């Protein structure tokens, strides 16, 4: 492979066939990302897994039927078989949960493994038969975009675009069904039909993706992009776009790699790409990411330490005996930088801004202390410890409420300069 070859494939200039395969797989990724969002919200991810595993005997059975009648092999018939078997698998799960006391997860596990096992046996039977045409069947297990014919790619692309448009058109309805199906029903919406449509889209995307990603991994296309998108946002519309983007990028890169290295399993590359994007999201997403959480925790700690230091500096200034301020060069520098203290030879001294904040903290402390003593019957000797935790999180609103509560009992609200403790 040369650099120009790489660029050609990446820019969709690598010949008509390659371009079609790459575009088809990318569209599939986008569609799976969109449909997957609703599968995730409706908790159908594992149902999709069962469905795809259960599709294997359908593919093998369809192949056996085709070769028995001597017809040429066509993707359409194989996928029809996959759909029938997949739907049968889902119905079997529902039958098992209804007629036995098995829970859904156990029922899915049973259906998945038995259907898949039967599929494997059928495939091995096919492989032991004389005759050609079975070569491509394995690509349904592991996924191989290189085995795709241009016509297959075009039909996959068309189906993907259909799913994409259907999802976007029905977006509002799907969201309502996912979050408030009771409410949607009371508005007279056909919730059952919409639910079925959602499931049908999952089935279509799964079946169509079988050839490029394989029965074992196709579920990843439905789970990983939405799961990654969920980390970035709480809004469904944004989640849809992010998920579609991640799905599309995964499909695109997987198909490109497959075009460049025909022997690499394309399905794995697609999934790994999605997995890498998921890890990136897990690390970097602002609110739910690991990095963000870490930074927030650090910031919280710094705020707490600053508050403690300011309060004890203030207490020292007004001559109330207090615990000596904890010294820390880094913390003092940081406070000086924010204009809360000035660093002198005898240690930090409060600025006007720092004094104001220290006074407010001390007042909050005393306020809460008095409230606990007068309203919660806490013994004065026990009050200090719990107050130390709470004084930092008192909002202005809460402070006003505390003042009112104390006033109603005729207790004068404390002033910061007052003694105490």
Partner 1 sequence: MRTYDYLTDPSLGVQFSLGLLAAVAIALLCGVLSVLVVLKRLAFIGQGVSHAAFGGVGLAMVFGLASTEAGLGQELGMFFVVVAFCIASALGVAWLSREDSSRADTAIGVVLAGAMAIGFLLAAHAARRAQEAGELPPPSIETVLFGSFLTLGGADALIAWACCVLILGVLWLVRRPMLFASFDEEAAISAGLPVAKLRLLLLCLLAVAIVVTMRLAGVVLATALLILPGAVALRLSLRLWAVVGLAVAVSLVGTIGGVVLAFELDWQAGPSVAVALLAIFLVAEGVRAIRLR
Q: Does residue 34 touch partner 1 according to CB under 8 A?
A: no
Which stretches does DSSP call E strand in 107-255?
none
Query: Residue 349 pairs with which residues in a beta bridge?
Result: 342
Query: Least distance from C-beta 223 to partner 1, angstroms?
Result: 4
Given the rule CB under 8 A, which of 59-67, 73-81, 180-188, 223-231 is the region that contacts partner 1? 223-231
The residue within the footprint of partner 1, chosen from 19, 26, 45, 243 (CB under 8 A), is 45
The residue within the footprint of partner 1, chosen from 38, 63, 116, 368 (CB under 8 A), is 116
Q: Does residue 260 touch partner 1 according to CB under 8 A?
A: no
CB 322 within 8 A of CB 315: yes
The pair phi, psi for residue 100, each rounded to 5°, is -120, 175
Query: Least distance from C-beta 124 to partner 1, angstroms?
Result: 6
Report the residue count for the chain.
Answer: 421
If the CB atoms of residues 120 and 320 are measured against partner 1, the closer one turns out to be 120
Residues 6+ apart with CB under 8 A from 136: 73, 144, 147
Query: Least distance from C-beta 119 to partner 1, angstroms?
Result: 8
Query: Least distance from C-beta 144 to partner 1, angstroms?
Result: 11
CB 390 within 8 A of CB 398: no
Query: Least distance from C-beta 307 to partner 1, angstroms?
Result: 27
Query: Least distance from C-beta 21 to partner 1, angstroms?
Result: 19
Residues 6+ apart with CB under 8 A from 254: 25, 29, 145, 212, 213, 266, 267, 269, 270, 271, 273
Q: CA angle, corner 418, sides to 412 and 421, nearest 5?
A: 95
If the CB atoms of residues 97 and 149 are measured against partner 1, the closer one turns out to be 97
3-state SS assignment for residue 51: helix
Residues 6+ apart with CB under 8 A from 67: 73, 131, 133
Residues of span 263-292 touching partner 1 by CB under 8 A: 263-265, 267-272, 274-275, 278
Residue 103: alpha-carbon gap to chain centroid: 25
Query: Least distance from C-beta 287 to partner 1, angstroms?
Result: 12
CA distance 37 to 418: 58
If the CB atoms of residues 118 and 378 are measured against partner 1, the closer one turns out to be 118
Q: Does residue 241 touch partner 1 according to CB under 8 A?
A: no
Shortest CA distance to 402 belongs to which of 357, 371, 373?
371
Query: Least distance from C-beta 102 to partner 1, angstroms?
Result: 6
Other CB atoms within 10 Å distance of the CB of residue 224: 29
The residue within the footprint of partner 1, chosen from 7, 17, 65, 105 (CB under 8 A), is 105
CA distance 17 to 258: 13
Query: Least distance from C-beta 268 to partner 1, angstroms?
Result: 4
CA distance 261 to 84: 33
Residues of span 84-103 touching partner 1 by CB under 8 A: 99-103
If the CB atoms of residues 119 and 358 are measured against partner 1, the closer one turns out to be 119
Residue 68: alpha-carbon gap to chain centroid: 46
Q: Does residue 251 touch partner 1 according to CB under 8 A?
A: no
Q: How far is CA 392 from CA 10, 138, 335, 364, 384, in A?
A: 55, 63, 17, 8, 13
Number of residues that bind partner 1 (CB under 8 A): 47
If the CB atoms of residues 254 and 414 are measured against partner 1, the closer one turns out to be 254
CA distance 178 to 99: 26
Site string for partner 1, 121-160 (x = CB under 8 A): x--x----------------xx------------------
The residue within the footprint of partner 1, chosen from 64, 88, 118, 320 (CB under 8 A), is 118
Which stretches does DSSP call E strand in 309-366?
341-344, 347-350
Q: Does residue 219 touch partner 1 according to CB under 8 A?
A: yes
If the CB atoms of residues 143 and 348 are measured against partner 1, the closer one turns out to be 143
3-state SS assignment for residue 339: coil
The residue within the footprint of partner 1, chosen from 113, 237, 323, 415 (CB under 8 A), is 113
Q: Does residue 420 touch partner 1 according to CB under 8 A?
A: no
Binding site for partner 1 (CB under 8 A): 40, 43, 45-46, 49, 53, 99-103, 105-106, 108-110, 112-114, 116-118, 120-121, 124, 141-142, 216-217, 219-220, 223-224, 227, 230, 263-265, 267-272, 274-275, 278
């Amino acid at each position: 492979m040369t650099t120009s070859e790489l660029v050609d494939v990446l820019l969709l200039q690598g010949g008509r066939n390659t371009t079609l395969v790459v575009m088809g797989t990318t569209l599939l990724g986008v569609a799976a990302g969109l449909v997957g969002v609703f599968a995730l919200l409706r908790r159908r991810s594992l149902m999709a897994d069962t469905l795809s595993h259960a599709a294997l005997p359908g593919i093998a059975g369809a192949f056996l039927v085709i070769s028995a009648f001597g017809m040429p092999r066509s993707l359409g018939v194989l996928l029809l078989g996959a759909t029938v078997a997949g739907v049968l698998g889902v119905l079997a799960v529902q039958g098992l949960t209804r007629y036995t006391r098995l829970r859904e997860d156990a029922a899915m596990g049973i259906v998945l493994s038995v259907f898949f096992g039967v599929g494997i046996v059928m495939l091995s039977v096919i492989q032991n038969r004389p005759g050609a045409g079975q070569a491509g069947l394995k690509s349904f297990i592991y996924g191989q975009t290189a085995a795709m014919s241009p016509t297959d790619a075009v039909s996959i692309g068309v189906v993907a675009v259909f799913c994409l448009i259907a999802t976007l058109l029905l977006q509002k309805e799907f969201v309502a069904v996912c979050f408030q199906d009771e409410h949607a029903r009371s508005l007279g919406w056909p919730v059952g039909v919409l639910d079925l449509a959602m499931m049908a889209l999952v089935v279509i995307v799964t079946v169509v993706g079988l050839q490029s990603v394989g029965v074992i991994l196709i579920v990843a296309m439905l789970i990983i992009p939405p799961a990654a998108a969920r980390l970035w946002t709480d809004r469904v519309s944004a989640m849809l776009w992010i998920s579609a983007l991640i799905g599309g990028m995964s499909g695109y890169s997987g198909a490109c790699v497959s075009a460049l290295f025909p022997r690499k399993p394309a399905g794995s590359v697609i999934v790994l790409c999605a997995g890498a994007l998921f890890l990136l999201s897990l690390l970097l997403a602002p609110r739910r990411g690991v990095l963000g959480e870490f930074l927030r925790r650090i910031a919280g700690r710094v705020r707490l330490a600053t508050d403690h230091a300011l309060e004890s500096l203030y207490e020292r200034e007004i001559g109330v005996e207090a615990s000596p301020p904890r010294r820390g060069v880094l913390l003092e520098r940081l406070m000086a930088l924010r204009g809360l203290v000035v660093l002198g030879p005898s240690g930090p001294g409060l600025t006007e801004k720092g004094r104001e904040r220290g006074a407010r903290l001390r007042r909050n402390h005393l306020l809460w202390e008095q409230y606990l003593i007068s309203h919660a019957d806490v013994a004065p000797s026990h009050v200090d410890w719990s107050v130390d935790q709470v004084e930092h999180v008192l909002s202005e609103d809460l402070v006003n409420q505390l003042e009112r509560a104390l006033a109603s009992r005729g207790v004068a609200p404390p002033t910061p300069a007052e003694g105490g403790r």
